[in-house]
Amino acid sequence: MPVVAAPAPVAAPGIPGYVREHETLLARLSANAPGLDPAVLDMALQARTCAVAYGDIEGDSRLAVIDYSMPSTDKRLWVFELASGEVLFNEHVAHGQGSGGNMTTAFSNKDGSHQTSLGLFRTAETYVGGNGYSMRMDGLDPGFNDNARDRLIVMHGANYVNPAATSSLGRLGRSWGCPAVRQAVARDMIDLLKGGQLLFSYYPQDEWLDSSRFLHCDRVGEIAAHRERMRGETLVADAGDTSVNERGGGATSLHAAAR
């Protein structure tokens, strides 16, 4: 009689690869950037996950994150090498004159506002202009930063990004909306970021948090669902541990912690 192969075992439902990648990256990058709020980094990686799903990005290897909820006197820009998790830069970065003093209070997508824009940007080509070596960026968040190219919102070096002057000014120098950095690091940073990498510009503005297409795609929902499942398993395993009940809520909203 011919040998009949046994039916193949049915694979148990697994964790999607993009969920594993997200959680692995979050753990690796957070460990190397203790000064960056993990909730903000989590959101930046969610935005990247959605950008990949939408086809807005492919083959990216680096990620820049700016936390504009921090004062300008702090180093609030991080540039990561995604494969290794290495922090390539942690630097001061300017915000727009119309966005506030040391702390940002306003953001805009309008030309002439001289305000910083929020959301996800894709880096593009470089050029030499009035601010020297500069990098154009395309805003990917409709209504929030998609006028970036027309507004000439670019990364460039600037003498007013001078941490030594903050003691007398009480703030860093300001741009017309560009994420300007120190002259000493501008060229090297731009060369690492140019040509199709992502830059995530964050502030806890409710309108943007609630409507950005990069914070609400299906993959973000799956990440939240995975965390909820993991939390449920932990609660079951630790049912006798009263400290579990002191840990707070679940991960139904991935954005609540960063508001």
Work out the angle between the directed axes of helices 218-237 and 17-32 (0-180°, nearest 10). Answer: 80
On whether residue 32 sits in a domain, the answer given is yes
Domains identified in the chain, total number: 1
On whether residue 225 sits in a domain, the answer given is no
Residue range of the domain that includes 207: 17-218
Q: What is the pLDDT of residues 102-157, one digit of tens each?
A: 999 999 999 999 999 999 999 999 999 999 999 999 999 999 999 999 999 999 99
On whether residue 128 sits in a domain, the answer given is yes
Question: Which tokens belong to 37?
Answer: 């709020």
Q: What is the pLDDT of residues 201-247, one digit of tens each?
A: 999 999 999 999 999 999 999 999 999 999 888 887 777 655 444 43
On whether residue 182 sits in a domain, the answer given is yes
Residue 177 has pLDDT above 70, yes or no: yes
Identify the pLDDT of residue 233: 81
DSSP character for 44?
H
Identify the pLDDT of residue 58: 87
Identify the pLDDT of residue 38: 97
On whether residue 235 sits in a domain, the answer given is no
> What CATH code is carried by the domain that includes residue 70?
2.40.440.10
On whether residue 55 sits in a domain, the answer given is yes
On whether residue 4 sits in a domain, the answer given is no
Angle at the Cα of 196 from the Cα atoms of 190 and 198, rounded to 5 degrees: 75
Rounding to the nearest 10 degrees, give the CA dihedral for residues 243, 21, 37, 98: -150
Q: What is the pLDDT of residues 6-65, one digit of tens each?
A: 333 333 346 789 999 999 999 999 999 999 999 999 999 999 999 999 999 988 999 999
pTM of the model: 0.87
On whether residue 134 sits in a domain, the answer given is yes
Question: Which tokens belong to 22?
Answer: 């997200």
